[in-house]
Structure 1
Amino acid sequence: MQIHSIFRAACIIAAATATTTLTGCASIVSGTNQVMSVETLSKTGKVDGATCKLQNDKGVYYVTTPGTVNVHRAYGDLSVTCEKAGMPAGLAVIKSTTKGMMAGNILFGGFIGAGVDAASGAAYDYPVLLQIMMGESVGNPLLPAPVAGAPAVSGGMN
């Protein structure tokens, strides 16, 4: 009976270790934060020195362009407002995307791991480069209409 108890305890410990190790796969692989580059543009070219405010349901972040900022990943959209004296503001709403590793997380980490990553924001990504067009509003029908003839905001490449 003693060997049976030891074997059972070892199995329970192994299962608990596997469960805690495999949950939260995306948070382990890429974390809950993401570095993003932000550039501001006008019809005539790059605009340096604009102050941008990025906001999602996990926090508010500031950057002066061109620059990089560390944001907390989230399911929700990222609202971006860039301002510079003498220029109309650039407004954009950037959609988050679900990472492909979420499927693997469900397979190997179970729904607990997927839930951990969804709640922490680790399961989501924003584009690495944001190019915000000054005088434009892009990505949200509630924002003011964009300036006619100006190019659209680019979310960049992942």
Structure 2
Amino acid sequence: MYFRPVAAALVLPALIAGCASLTESTQQNVLVQTVLDHREIAGVGCVLYNDVGKWFVTTPARITLRKSAGALRIDCQKEGTGWAYEKVDSKVDGNLWGNLALTAGVGYFIDKNTGAGYDYPATLTVVMHADAQRDGLPPPAPGVTLY
């Protein structure tokens, strides 16, 4: 009988330690910058959005956004200069895998839903396309990944 309370006291902290929702924030600070022809372009208006929010920024700037397991879409435009539509996938961080092992998968689903176990790159460099490259055609639909 004495063994169960002691075992629970030792195992419970290990289970909680693996939970990214408890040890990490659901927010992330990122730097957004735009480049055209290998040069940084300032004053570009961008909209960043994922399945949990939408953020507006004029580059270059730091912005705090909410993390998600889903992709981050970036739509930018500067009149007379250029445009860009990009998609950035989130990456699983190390705490999520520890959470999967230590909580038998329960914490994994919590972290996936809150975004706490995922990160976007700390610097988002958006490659702009010159307005002249459009040849009179409209840009692709928002959120389309260009390579």
TM-score range, shorter chain: 0.7 to 0.9
| Shift in Å, 1:24 | 6.7
Unaligned runs of 5+ in 1: 147-151, 153-158
Is the CA contact 1:37–1:68 (under 8 Å) kept in the aligned structure 2? yes
| Shift in Å, 1:47 | 0.3
Scaled by the length of structure 1, the TM-score of the pair is 0.71
Is the CA contact 1:39–1:130 (under 8 Å) kept in the aligned structure 2? yes
Task: Tell me which residue corresponds to 1:69.
Answer: 63
Distance (Å, rounded) in 2 between the aligned partners of 1:89 and 1:117: 34
**Residue 99 of structure 2 is aligned to residue 98 of structure 1:** no
CA RMSD of the aligned region, Å? 2.9
Is the CA contact 2:76–2:85 (under 8 Å) kept in the aligned structure 1? yes
**Residue 116 of structure 2 is aligned to residue 122 of structure 1:** yes
Please identify, of 126-135 and 101-110, the stretch whose mean Cα deviation from structure 2 is larger: 101-110
Rate the CA distance shift 1:61–1:24 in 2: closer, same or farther, 3 A.
farther
| Shift in Å, 1:23 | 7.1
**Residue 144 of structure 2 is aligned to residue 143 of structure 1:** yes
Give runs of ≥4 in structure 1 deviating > 4 Å: none
**Residue 52 of structure 2 is aligned to residue 51 of structure 1:** no
Residue in structure 2 matching 1:42, options 33, 36, 39: 36
Distance (Å, rounded) in 1 between the aligned partners of 2:45 and 2:98: 38
Unaligned runs of 5+ in 2: 131-140
Structure with more of its chain in strand, by fraction: 2
Q: Identity of paired residues, percent?
A: 30
Deviations 1:67-98 (A, max 9, x none): 01111111111100111121221111001111
What amino acid is aligned across from residue 36 of structure 1 in structure 2? V
Is the CA contact 2:36–2:127 (under 8 Å) kept in the aligned structure 1? yes
Rate the CA distance shift 1:49–1:107 in 2: closer, same or farther, 3 A.
same
Scaled by the length of structure 2, the TM-score of the pair is 0.76
Distance (Å, rounded) in 2 between the aligned partners of 1:93 and 1:106: 27
Number of residue-to-residue matches in the alignment: 134
**Residue 76 of structure 2 is aligned to residue 82 of structure 1:** yes
Q: Which has the larger radius of gyration?
A: 1
Is the CA contact 1:50–1:82 (under 8 Å) kept in the aligned structure 2? yes
What amino acid is aligned across from residue 117 of structure 2 in structure 1? A
Distance (Å, rounded) in 1 between the aligned partners of 2:80 and 2:22: 44
Distance (Å, rounded) in 1 between the aligned partners of 2:72 and 2:38: 26
Task: Tell me which residue corresponds to 1:156.
Answer: none
